[in-house]
Amino acid sequence: MKKIVLISTAVLSVLLYSCDKVTNAYPKATGGNGELDWSLYPDGDSANYAQNHWPVWTPNTNTLTNVLIEDFTGHRCFNCPKAGDTAHAVFNSYPGRIIVASIHSSNNGLSDFQEKYIDPNDPNLSYPEVLYDDVGLEIGTHLGQKPGSGFIGNPRGAINRMLSGTDNTSTISTFRSKSITQMAIPVKVNIQAEHNYFASTRGLFLHTEVDVLDASITSELGLVVYVLEDSLIGAQLMPDLTRNGSYVHRDILRGCIDNKAFGRTLKATDLGSNGKYYVNYSYKLPAEYNPANMHLAIYVYDKTTEVIYQVIEEKVE
């Protein structure tokens, strides 16, 4: 993934009232804590962007808790299609409430289940697609190695990373029931997002607003943005041990917008005068991805328990 840069709300007023063209107005910093990359805006004019593209936030009237299903899978895992089908069925049952991320990782990261394989004698036995990424492998390893984790192999899932003892993961059989449980929880955090995508630079500017509604939340909060590929046709080992060369892989995790598996910790410096958090990103979509086939999953989680409080989806195009 490309370097991501952020801008605080404090500099927005400077941009709005500047009348000079500014190219890369503020120095970039490593680690995703610098300013927005104005080279991704077609003419590099930050003042013009701020005046014409910056969102005007309206009250967030959402009263519902959405659910992120993280499906830890592999294209050479014969039990994994069942988990994918289960997650997709729950997604279809609750339109707008369920977001799925297919994470090609085992509990130890990369395994035979995720690796590409080229058969030297018969291409019809090959698994040539690369569906894993470094961020997904880091997440899988982290959840798989936590004390008390039940993630001992694929397939496995996480439903808003809700806890069962010390385990944030779930079996396939509980995908639906745990999703229903999570959707019934009164909303504790609200998220809004707006974005602009510029095809000429493949630049994506994402603006987020986080409103913590539950005053009892005292832990630090993390903000994560997954970059997901809607669908891709490729090989998959099926439950009957046959290879399906035309399998539809859905909601493939291709990384995080800031290349951080566990995102950004929300800080006092991200707070607006209204008590809400504002975090903004710029990102260059890699050339191999079709923007019309990509979406973002934006979620806020408790950095102590790792439970996800809220998630929303944003299409790139």
In this structure, is residue 302 part of a structural domain? yes
* Whole-number pLDDT of residue 35: 74
Residue 34 domain-assigned? no
**What does the pLDDT look like over 138-187, one tens digit per residue?**
999 999 999 999 999 999 999 999 999 999 999 999 999 999 999 999 99
Strand (E) or helix (H) holding 235: strand 221-237
The reply to whether 303 falls in a domain is yes
Note whether residue 32 is domain-resident: no
Tens-digit pLDDT profile for residues 93-123: 999 999 999 999 999 999 999 999 999 999 9
The 3-state DSSP class for residue 108 equals coil
Q: How many domains does the chain have?
A: 1
| Mean pLDDT of the 19-37 span | 42
Largest CA distance in the chain: 65
For 117-133, what is the mean pLDDT?
96
Query: Residue 131 carries which DSSP code?
Result: -
- Segment holding 141, helix H or strand E: helix 134-145
Q: How far apart are CA 222 and CA 231, in angstroms?
A: 27
- In the predicted structure, residue 33 carries a pLDDT above the cut 80: no
279-292: average pLDDT: 97
Mean pLDDT for the stretch of residues 273-287: 96
Q: pLDDT class for 13, splitting at 50, 70, 90?
A: very low
> Which of these, 39, 49, 40, 43, lies nearest to 11 by C-alpha position?
49
In this structure, is residue 87 part of a structural domain? yes
CA distance 290 to 227: 12
pLDDT at 17: 39
Determine, yes or no, domain membership for 226. Answer: yes
Q: Note whether residue 31 is domain-resident.
A: no
Encode 271-283 in three state secondary structure.
ECCCCCEEEEEEE
Could you tell me whether strands 67-73 and 98-104 are parallel, antiparallel, or unpaired per DSSP bridges? parallel
- Contact in structure between 262 and 224 (CB atoms under 8 Å): yes
Q: Is 275 exposed, middle or buried (0-12, 13-18, 19+ CB in 10 A)?
A: exposed
Question: Residue 120: which domain range?
Answer: 67-187+208-264+292-315
Q: Which residues pair with 167 in a beta bridge?
A: 164
pLDDT tens-digit readout, 211-244: 999 999 999 999 999 999 999 999 999 999 999 9
Alpha carbon separation from 114 to 90, 123, 131, 156, 261 (Å, rounded): 24, 18, 7, 14, 18
CB of 113 closer than 8 Å to CB of 77:
yes
pLDDT of residue 208: 97
Compute φ and ψ for 146, nearest 5 degrees: -65, 140
Residue 32 pLDDT > 50, yes or no?
A: no
Mean of the per-residue pLDDT values of the chain: 91
Residue 200 lies in a domain: no
pLDDT tens digits for 66-80? Answer: 999 999 999 999 999
